[in-house]
Amino acid sequence: MHLKVEYLCHPGKVREHNEDGILVHLRFIRDERGGEEIEVGNSPVTVAVADGVGGAEAGEVASEFVLRTLAGTPARSVEEVIEVLRACQKELKVHARSFPEKVQMASTVAGIVFQEGKGIVFNVGDSRVYRERFGYLVRVSKDHSVVERLVEAGVISPEETRNHPQRHIITSAIGVEDGDFEVFVREIPISVGDRFLICSDGLWEMLSEEEMEACLRSEEPLSSYFERAMERGGMDNISIVLVRVCE
């Protein structure tokens, strides 16, 4: 099994700093567009997006720290992925003490650990993972946010989250206080032909679910996603990773 990966990490139109980052196997990426093919052999392959929180340069430091930590600590099981994410949480808080002016640094993260025939989906915060199979795009991660809790409680519908006044409030991130730290991890089967979209909220908040599917069906999905988000104002940093599973 091998992976065809396309990626783009862009500051958008409004933000002065790009606090997003992308991890493709062992490589940290920011402010780049590109692609590569990766063979999935005996070692797991991690592909992820992180969205830094904290303003100034704090978010940039946090997202890079989290992704480089993931790259340096490969995991093969749900339990090991949870352990790595919890280690990221502790280590980022220690790292932040080296930057007194950036003490509030934190980061979301979402991604997949690819192995032969299966993947481990993980996320903290509101960066997302989607899978496309048989023409349907389905989110396989779970947001840690106020509006997600409201949807689960039946207070609002999924459609209402996009315009809700609390839509930007996340309830978990790597680097926050331990009492507010939640992780989502699940194992899913992976088949040849599956496609995955991993992205920060700078993409998915700009597009409806119908538009997300339509862009993926286009001849150049990566360009379609990016152009649509920029047409809507490019209000946040934009990170997009597309992964196709091949024989």
Element (H, E) at 20: strand 20-24
Higher pLDDT, 176 or 130: 130
What is the tens place of the pLDDT at every residue in 25-48? 999 999 999 999 999 988 999 999
Q: Identify the bridge partners of residue 188 per DSSP, sorted by sequence position.
A: 119
Are the C-beta atoms of residues 111 and 45 closer than 8 Å to each other? Answer: no
Question: Over the chain, what is the mean pLDDT?
Answer: 93
Burial class (CB in 10 A: 0-12, 13-18, 19+), 148: middle
pLDDT at 35: 97
**pLDDT, tens digit, for every residue of 100-131?**
776 678 999 999 999 999 999 999 999 999 99
Show me where the domains of the chain are located. Answer: 2-246
Mean pLDDT to the nearest integer, 51-77: 89
Residues 224 and 212: their CA atoms lie apart, in Å, by: 9
Question: Does residue 86 have a pLDDT over 80?
Answer: yes
Give Rg (Cα) of the chain.
17
Q: In terms of DSSP H, where are the helices of the chain?
A: 58-72, 78-96, 146-152, 201-204, 209-217, 221-231
Distance CA 17, CA 32 (A): 14
Q: What is the pLDDT of residues 2-11, one digit of tens each?
A: 999 999 999 9
What pLDDT score does 162 carry?
A: 78
pLDDT computed for residue 103 by the predictor = 65
Residues contacting residue 61 through CB under 8 Å, at least 6 positions apart: 52, 95, 99, 102, 105
CATH of 2-246, one of 3.40.350.10, 3.60.40.10, 3.40.50.2300, 3.30.1330.10: 3.60.40.10
**pLDDT attached to residue 57:** 72
Tokens describing residue 2: 């091998």
Which pLDDT tens digit goes with each residue over 185-208?
Answer: 999 999 999 999 999 999 999 999
Provide the whole-model pTM: 0.95
